């Protein structure tokens, strides 16, 4: 996930969900625990009222008068509340309902309370062990058992769960939306900074001018310093190039004038003239090389197709006698963030070589893939020799029969290297040479 806001939002949502789930479980357990304690206390009160209504019957056993028990549900059939008195063997000595079929529970000790849920009866059970001494001082062991149906308890727990998780879910959604708003507000300076950088790339402003939080001020200050340094460097390049061109202009003109002297031997005149031309070409090339700016991130992307169309139009005029079939397969939307002058030199040299060494066809194409821009120039000429890499050295030529100085591919390679790219010489499906330029996309 590349979005900073997305990462923060997902992380916060996970934390909120975990916190909400944990809080919900804790609240649910606390509520159920309190409800169970209230259930036990209620049944325990009922046991005390039953013992208060207990008396000895004619046989000397223990019985309970239901009329003396304050809870009327024990006298109502199917009320969900029942009670029983078990003897020391676990047999029912008395019950509030004749239809009671009670599986004997584990009998508690005298004075021991035992509260649990009987899933077989779908009811809560509270048992209490006691010893009853009758009129003849004969102690007898009894167990009082109270059963209450668990349907009402389960319904109450269900209502609480739905209410609890419903409100927790709504609260978590509301908190997530609030967090999204806060993240958008908190990251607004970054979006504003990105917009200003885009304005600088388009040439609509010269530096970052907005007011930013303290955490971003060192970044904006460094970016402005980088922009100023880059522009100052380009200014120094241009001034140095102008001074160099002006300095060399006069000596080269003098040398060229000496070739016109009448007493100069024709052979020497031709040699001097060739060397002057060579020096002029070398000077021009070195000036172009020094002017190559290389990769610049704060520049406007250049549309490759329009640039290639202009160069192809010029190539068609220069090589009109060859009647070349020229194809431009670069997409209209493809753009490369590079200096326009560098791209003119790079593509111009490649198209010139293709038109020079090709027979009838020249093709240029380009695409963006895997954060790289691939520029491909092909022709249907003789192609590259097996040791094609030597052509990247200055002065090396593949075909000495064709006029040239062997500087085109070397100049292209220097520009490509300045951008941190790669240059490959291959065989084209057209039958001739194929040059593949790989430039990193920033």
For every residue of 9-65, DSSP letters joined together read: HHHHHHHHHHHHHHHHHHHHHHHHHHHHHHHHHHHHHHHHHHHHTEEE-TTS-EEE-
Instruction: Give residue 438's pLDDT band: very low, low, confident or very high (50, 70, 90).
Output: very high
Instruction: Please state, in angstroms and rounded to a whole number, the distance separating the CA atoms of residues 129 and 113.
Output: 7
89-108 pLDDT, tens digit each: 888 888 888 777 676 667 88
Q: Give the pLDDT score at 34.
A: 94
Q: Give the pLDDT score at 60.
A: 72
- The tokens describing 382, both together, are 């003789």
193-233 pLDDT, tens digit each: 988 888 887 778 888 888 888 888 888 888 888 888 777 77
Mean pLDDT of 375-402: 72
Whether residue 441 contacts residue 371, with contact meaning beta carbons closer than 8 Å, is answered with yes
Whether the model clears a pTM of 0.85, i.e. scores above it, the answer is no
Instruction: Give residue 69's pLDDT band: very low, low, confident or very high (50, 70, 90).
Output: confident
């Amino acid at each position: 996930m590349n979005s900073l806001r997305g990462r923060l939002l997902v992380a916060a949502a996970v934390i909120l969900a975990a916190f909400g789930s944990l809080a919900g479980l804790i609240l649910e357990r606390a509520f159920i625990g309190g409800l169970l304690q209230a259930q036990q206390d209620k049944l325990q009160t009922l046991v005390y009222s039953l013992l208060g209504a207990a008396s000895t019957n004619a046989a000397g056993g223990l019985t309970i008068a239901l009329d003396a028990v304050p809870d009327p549900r024990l006298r109502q059939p199917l009320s969900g509340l029942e009670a029983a008195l078990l003897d020391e063997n676990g047999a029912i000595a008395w019950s509030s309902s004749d239809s009671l079929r009670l599986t004997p529970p584990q009998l508690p000790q005298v004075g021991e309370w035992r509260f649990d849920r009987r899933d077989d009866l779908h009811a809560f059970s509270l048992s209490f062990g006691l010893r009853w001494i009758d009129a003849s001082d004969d102690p007898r062991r009894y167990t009082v058992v109270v059963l209450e149906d668990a349907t009402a308890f389960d319904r109450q727990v269900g209502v609480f769960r739905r209410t609890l998780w419903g409100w927790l879910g709504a609260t978590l959604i509301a908190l997530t939306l609030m967090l999204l708003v806060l993240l958008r507000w908190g990251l607004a300076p970054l979006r504003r900074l990105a917009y200003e950088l885009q304005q600088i790339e388009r040439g609509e402003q010269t530096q970052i001018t907005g007011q930013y939080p303290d955490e971003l001020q060192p970044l904006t200050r460094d970016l402005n310093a980088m922009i100023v340094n880059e522009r100052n460097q380009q200014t120094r390049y241009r001034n140095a190039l102008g001074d160099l061109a002006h300095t060399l202009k006069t000596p080269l003109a003098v040398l060229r004038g000496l070739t016109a002297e009448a007493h100069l031997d024709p052979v020497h005149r031709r040699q001097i003239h060739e060397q002057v031309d060579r020096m002029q070409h070398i000077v021009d090339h070195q000036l172009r090389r020094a002017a190559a700016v290389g990769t610049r991130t704060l520049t406007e992307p250049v549309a490759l197709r329009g640039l290639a169309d202009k160069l192809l139009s010029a190539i068609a005029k220069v090589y009109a006698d060859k009647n070349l079939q020229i194809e431009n397969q670069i997409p209209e939307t493809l753009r490369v963030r590079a200096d326009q002058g560098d791209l003119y030199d790079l593509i111009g040299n490649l198209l010139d070589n293709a038109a020079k060494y090709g027979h009838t066809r020249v093709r240029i194409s380009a695409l963006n893939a895997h954060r790289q821009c691939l520029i491909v120039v092909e022709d249907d000429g003789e192609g590259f020799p097996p040791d094609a890499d030597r052509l990247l050295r200055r002065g090396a030529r593949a075909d000495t029969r064709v006029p040239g100085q062997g500087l085109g591919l070397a100049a292209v390679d220097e520009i490509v290297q300045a951008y941190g790219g790669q240059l490959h010489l291959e065989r084209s499906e057209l039958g001739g040479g194929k040059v593949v330029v790989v430039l990193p996309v920033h």
